[in-house]
Chains A and B, each alone.
Chain A
């Protein structure tokens, strides 16, 4: 067990509480998870390594989340990006989807909700492999 490739997830959110709660929940569901609260570090990480799924906040200090997800998509178009944000507006949602975002979740959300979205993204990735 554990030999088969696990789905790799990167989470970026500048509020540590989000990482603290998301990471273990996703790990328990069988994903390999890396979590970052600084966008610079996350940006460096995606250069070293491609992730299957990226979960990112939109509004953060330093690098803007929209900019980050653009970089992710540029480097690795097959990576599915899930946006989580506390400032959900129609415009940001539209813009995200235009950039090819897989789904858009308004904070606060239920653990179950994000797990469902992640599972869907995983299905899509596996289907296209």
Chain B
């Protein structure tokens, strides 16, 4: 207790220096505004987040208007906080300006290139960095890091390096001038292109970047087997490999010696300005910023066998086969179509039987030279007519290819190699464009669908959109997972994180129960596996081994393999690769993540705010602090200092009475519960102190961690008082506004209760804290279900739960406040309890029992 009063004293002392002259009523109305804005920001953020789920159609206009709206509110938040504490938080404007500027740049179509390194090793690259490392690098890094397939060691030379190179050599004005000459007709395309290439090839890579590239190479060579390993440099341009395919138009250099790297790098850059590419860019009206290039720098794979896999025949998708070209040595001639290669035609279904094999005489092969470069040598006589691949290798290539196809949701064109240790290495993967073929093939998708019986539809919720065919595999026990075949549809009663074990082999997932925000949902999304949960019927209606098609867009499960639907899907641009999706995702990164969690942490200051959510959180915390810190008695106002509630439960709650909320003497620093006469607050406290809500049976299950989470929040001797005392209730006779920070949850309750039913309302808002996503979502669901049972109107957005109820008579409103009080007490335990799905049901029943025992419920 003494620490608390010490703290109060300190706050008052600090405050006296600049005691605000703002009357309390004004101050409180500003505080209320801040709360209102705070809610609006959270709701907007959650709303924008749901748009990434795929169910909505939104456009750029939507993203723009929501960004402006949210920025406007955050600005008002800062303004109002500074109105509460004049000029105390001015540097929040700087934080806001910086973040908002980046959002505006994104909206203007100028992606803010993250301040990344000039180079990035594959181990650090994720899909998020596509704009920096180019699609080729990003795809390969995902194949390596996420899918766990073998790919060359290497790093990306990012677009930032390209820009630095252009800047250092002052090339942009010269390039612009040449472009203009060409477009005006004063120079031929060839002349202009050649001149731009010459400028690039004669340019100097800035010394700083030379150093960076070489230090990256040092690290790369450390992991390599010998110092003799040479390098492959491949283009990885913006737009390449995605919707605009410049396939084959940019340069790839093989077997470059290390000493040649800078020249090789410039050569690859220069290929951005070949005649054909310039023409293509003009035709497609591609934006200027796409005239940039990242480069892949990889250790050469000394291939014994190389080739190309098409996971679907691009000329005749309906044959439903995979095509593998294979030859001895390096693959470049096969890729370029210059050399003859064996052609394997394989079934797309496990175990991928060979349908035909076309062996050609392979006279020559391309091999790396020790000193760099490549050479063409004769193939040993007896190998010339022999197949290059074993059955096992064929299957391995097919499996890897389909895994990549499932992930990128498009048939793939994959360059692969088998090294001298017989490892399959993926060199490059890009989507095959089969749009035109599909258009011819599937002219009438809806009539095709008529031929397939629907097993069930519109049951449960879609977690990850997409379409897949496969045989049903029922998983009942964990052991079942060991025999899970590739490309099967995983059907199971309950979701479990353990299913992650087979996720890479899974073509689709259907469950009887489960939540769209659970942990498994996260994994399904990460691996983009079409998933429908909570169908209720899957394990009853689907038979093991049955061939089905899962349409996790329209939420239909068909009997049989509806290949046409898959092709149709292949031809569609995936939602995740659309410009709008990426734009929303990028701006949300500057809006939604919360970095400021703990006010006692060092980063809890305006300069630590990296997102609009951070600013919002900071303002809310400081506004509560400002209000608690007030002591109006001292400056002549009526007794409206914050006073502590003396309570038998561990909840440090400061009360501020703004009129008729507390009886008894106001000079005492503590308020007894019976002195609280505010109608809603009194009811709330009754619920809060229901015996058994704070310390009862469920706690014993996991007593240790429960206690540790308690101390984390409440031990005033251990934590700093500042951290502990942020629970505040402002009350009057009919009104209460309660702000609770329990652990890492933020909970707000506002209610007005009087004799006049029409004015009555109660509002409950709960934002979950930093537990893992599955616990958070279970908690959100549990709260929602409990509140719904008490007739609250519920709105769940992510882990934000909002409940509202209004216009009930006084008695009923009191009961609702009791329920909320009970729920707050109860919620404290959830964090440590919700390890299992079954807990939701158990805890819900437990709560209902408590409620029925202690709160009289009227039937409405």
A-to-B contact residues, CB < 8 Å: 1-2, 13, 15, 17-18, 20-22, 24-25, 27-31, 86-87, 107-112, 114
Contacts and interface: CB of A to CB of B under 8 A. Distances in A.
Interface string B569-582: 00011010011100
B283 interface: no
B288 interface: no
A74 to B, nearest CB: 28
Interface string B35-72: 00000000000000001000111111110010000000
B180 to A, nearest CB: 26
B65 A109 contact: no
B571 to A, nearest CB: 8
B444 to A, nearest CB: 5
B446 interface: yes
A107 B59 contact: yes
A18 B55 contact: no
B578 A20 contact: yes
B791 interface: no
A108 B449 contact: no
A86 B445 contact: no
Contacts of A29: 446
A17 B446 contact: no
Interface in B543-580: 553-554, 568, 572-573, 575, 578-580
Interface residues of B, number: 25
B59 A86 contact: yes
B449 A28 contact: yes
B447 interface: yes
Contacts of B554: 25, 28
Interface of B: 51, 55-62, 65, 444-447, 449-450, 553-554, 568, 572-573, 575, 578-580
Nearest to A26: B446
Contact of A108 (B59, B444, B446, B579): B59
B446 A109 contact: no
B60 A111 contact: no
Nearest to A4: B447
Given A17-B59, A108-B51, A109-B56, A27 B579 contact: no
B449 A109 contact: no
Contact of A21 (B61, B62, B447, B575): B575
Contacts of A110: 55-57
Contact of B579 (A17, A25, A109, A114): A17
A30 B446 contact: yes
Contact of B445 (A15, A22, A27, A108): A27
A86 B62 contact: yes
A68 to B, nearest CB: 17
A15 B444 contact: no
Given A17-B57, A28-B568, A111-B56, 17 more contacts: A1-B447, A15-B61, A17-B60, A17-B578, A20-B572, A20-B573, A22-B57, A24-B568, A27-B446, A30-B446, A107-B59, A107-B61, A108-B51, A108-B59, A108-B62, A110-B56, A110-B57
Closest 3 CB pairs of A and B: A30-B446, A108-B58, A15-B59
Give the interface centre of B57, B444, B447, B575 by most chain A CB atoms within 10 Å. B57
A24 B60 contact: no
B447 A18 contact: no
Contacts of B444: 1-2
Nearest to B573: A20
Give the interface centre of A17, A20, A24, A110 by most chain B CB atoms within 10 Å. A17
30 contacts: A1-B450, A15-B59, A15-B60, A15-B61, A17-B57, A17-B60, A17-B578, A17-B579, A18-B57, A18-B59, A20-B578, A21-B575, A22-B57, A25-B554, A28-B445, A28-B568, A29-B446, A86-B59, A86-B65, A107-B61, A108-B56, A108-B57, A108-B58, A108-B59, A108-B62, A109-B57, A110-B56, A111-B56, A111-B57, A112-B55
A37 to B, nearest CB: 11
A11 to B, nearest CB: 11
A106 B363 CA distance: 65
B61 A86 contact: yes
A112 B55 CA distance: 8
Nearest to A20: B573
A13 B55 CA distance: 19
Nearest to A115: B554
A56 to B, nearest CB: 14
B464 to A, nearest CB: 15
A83 B350 CA distance: 47
Nearest to A28: B445
Given A24-B568, A29-B446, A111 B55 contact: yes
A75 B578 CA distance: 35
A101 B56 CA distance: 22
A7 B553 CA distance: 22
Contacts of B445: 27-28
Contacts of A111: 55-57
A109 B56 CA distance: 5
A79 to B, nearest CB: 21
